[in-house]
Structure 1
Amino acid sequence: MKYTGDANARYVLPAMQNMHDAIVSANLQGQIKVSTAIDTTLCTDNPQSIDLNCALFTSPEVVVQDGQYGYQNLFDALLDALYAALEKAGAPNLNIAVSESGWSSEGGNAATVGNAGTFYRNLINHVKQGTPRRSGRALETYLFAMFDENLKAAGIEQHFGLFLPDRQPKYHLTFG
């Protein structure tokens, strides 16, 4: 579902609240969570608007200042924008889980094995510390994807895997 300008977007929160209420009434709130997904995909064909170092977690200094919060990477800026929106909507205690985060190793602008490996390594190390708005709180984050998907349409979508289709790793990653 596309949220921006979508007439059905106003039904998402009430539907989620109804589902949560049903889960609570069944005493399953500790076992089942209610969630929704939003797309934060960025246009990599516009490198003059998005600093590569900021996107790869390699910027040595603050790139964006938002009031008291300074951002050295795009990941934190995106998440904190969502946290700020949740606070404005009256839900300051909701946590965000990043269900897919990755970098293509081929097929587009800045899509290289080197950039993808840098992104994944830095993301793994970064999520332990939280964002400027939620400092010290580890972020539940999932990498996209386990394997390259050679059956997808040609382009960047085929090359997000940590592994090639023959199960060979593309990067050396550690999760310690």
Structure 2
Amino acid sequence: MSRKNSTPLGADATSIWLLLLIFSASVSDSIGEDLLGVCYGELGQDLPPISTTIKLLKELHADAVRLYDANPSVLTALRGTGIGVIVSVLDSELQDFAQNPTTAVLWVQKYVSPFYPSTRITYIAVGNEILSPGTVDEYGPHLVPAMWNLYHALAGRRLQDHIKVVAPVSGDILGTSWPPSKGAFSQLNYIHPLLRFLEYTKSKFFINVYPYYAHRMNPVQVPLDYAVFLKTEPEFKDPITGLPYYNLFDAMIDATYSAMLDIGITKVGVAVGETGWPTAGGYAASARTAKLYIRNLIQHVQRGGTPNRPKERVPVFLFSLYNENEKIGPDTEKNWGIFYPNATKVYDVDLDPVTSDL
């Protein structure tokens, strides 16, 4: 903020200036405080109104909520709640965002400016898992250009330090994940510029982590107790670092850090954009196992970081708030919710580890 003259500020003006500095710092710092959030998907029939959804988020003690769009009615309802909010740009919009900077400016004007800071928007997610094999060819070339245009649109309103632009990717972006010290990325032509963007803008690398799928595909090599944080002895020790691994979650996060280090990225933190366990519809899917996974995950991330980064806690978004019966795919895809659409719990869980019990 520039001053047009050298006249000392008056007492009132000084107070206002200091308040603005404090507010700015608190908003900026608040980005890193949301340790445990919940994903709010809406691909289900007869889901509760947003007023009920906010009530449930508060009952769960959720720090934040991840939206898969930027619904103005939802953003309006979240005003004044203190809940951190991730809003999303749809996959289908990426090409327009990449090719037309004005599109990003208008989007920020419509979906961010009317709500922030009363609605505590902390991240804009650009697409979801678009660097996976089925979508990378179509959307990959547009990802980072779209992110830069959004960043500049935020910078035009001096919001770039308060609202960060991210791009959640699937865990399959790791071409090599074992041992964790030898983690390596696939799709390097897209992942490298993405990570450079995140490094420059001081944002986080959002990766979706699902130990459930690893256990389902290979229950012998990925036993259930290793997948759901129940091991009391290490499942293995990294042959290079000697670090012990008691759960797959830590191994996947550390493999991600190793993959970043392998391409020279050292200043980007990891956040988990989605993780969870299905409660019905397929192998190893049950409410009891989901409760085990979520309860143990909450306690684990609250205690600290991973073997390789023990002091660096990883923000996590649980998938998901509701069962969604309109999702495409096997029955397990429809049964990841903590709540049924009638707002009753599928299983008991609390994101506050003090009150979360089994």
Q: TM-score range by the shorter chain?
A: 0.7 to 0.9
Matches within 5 A, 1:28-43: 28-40=159-171, 41=210, 42-43=213-214
Partner SS, residue 252 of structure 2: helix
Partner of 1:64: 236
Partner of 2:341: 165
Q: Which amino acid aligns with 1:94?
A: V
Give, in whole Å, the separation in 1 of the partners of 2:323 and 2:141.
Answer: 35
CA RMSD of aligned residues (A): 2.6
Partner of 2:48: none
Checking the alignment, whether the CA contact within 8 Å between 1:98 and 1:142 is kept in structure 2 is yes
Checking the alignment, whether the CA contact within 8 Å between 1:45 and 1:109 is kept in structure 2 is no
Partner of 1:2: 131
Q: 1:123 to 1:139 in 2, by over 3 A?
A: same
Partner of 2:327: 152
Q: Which amino acid aligns with 2:167?
A: T
Q: Percent identity?
A: 31
Give, in whole Å, the separation in 2 of the partners of 1:54 and 1:146.
Answer: 25
Checking the alignment, whether the CA contact within 8 Å between 1:103 and 1:119 is kept in structure 2 is yes
Q: Which amino acid aligns with 2:131?
A: K
Give, in whole Å, the separation in 2 of the partners of 1:172 and 1:69.
Answer: 33
5+ residue gaps, structure 2: 1-129, 172-209, 353-358
Give, in whole Å, the separation in 1 of the partners of 2:308 and 2:285.
Answer: 29
Q: 1:86 aligns with which of 245, 249, 260?
A: 260
Checking the alignment, whether the CA contact within 8 Å between 1:101 and 1:143 is kept in structure 2 is yes
Partner SS, residue 97 of structure 1: strand
Alignment of 1:22 with 2:197, yes or no, is no
Structure 1 or 2, whichever has the larger Rg, is 2
Give, in whole Å, the separation in 1 of the partners of 2:254 and 2:280.
Answer: 29
Q: 1:139 aligns with which of 314, 317, 320?
A: 314
Q: 1:157 to 1:12 in 2, by over 3 A?
A: same
Give, in whole Å, the separation in 2 of the partners of 1:81 and 1:28.
Answer: 32
Q: How many aligned residue pairs are there?
A: 176
Which structure carries more strand by proportion? Answer: 2
Cα drift, residue 28 of structure 1? 3.0
Q: Which amino acid aligns with 2:306?
A: T
Partner SS, residue 111 of structure 1: coil
Matches within 5 A, 1:93-132: 93-128=267-302, 129-132=304-307
Q: 1:8 to 1:157 in 2, by over 3 A?
A: closer
Q: Deviations over 1:78-121 (max 9, x none)?
A: 11111111112222121111111100011111111111010010
Q: Which amino acid aligns with 1:58?
A: L
Checking the alignment, whether the CA contact within 8 Å between 1:64 and 1:72 is kept in structure 2 is yes
Checking the alignment, whether the CA contact within 8 Å between 1:20 and 1:33 is kept in structure 2 is no
Checking the alignment, whether the CA contact within 8 Å between 1:16 and 1:35 is kept in structure 2 is no
Structure with more contact order per residue of length (Cα contacts < 8 Å, sep ≥ 6): 2
TM-score of the pair, normalised by structure 1: 0.85
Partner of 2:180: none
Q: Which amino acid aligns with 1:61?
A: E
Checking the alignment, whether the CA contact within 8 Å between 1:16 and 1:34 is kept in structure 2 is no
Give, in whole Å, the separation in 2 of the partners of 1:138 and 1:37.
Answer: 18
Q: 1:11 to 1:133 in 2, by over 3 A?
A: farther
Q: Which amino acid aligns with 2:307?
A: P
Which structure carries more helix by proportion? Answer: 2
Q: Which amino acid aligns with 1:111?
A: A
5+ residue gaps, structure 1: none
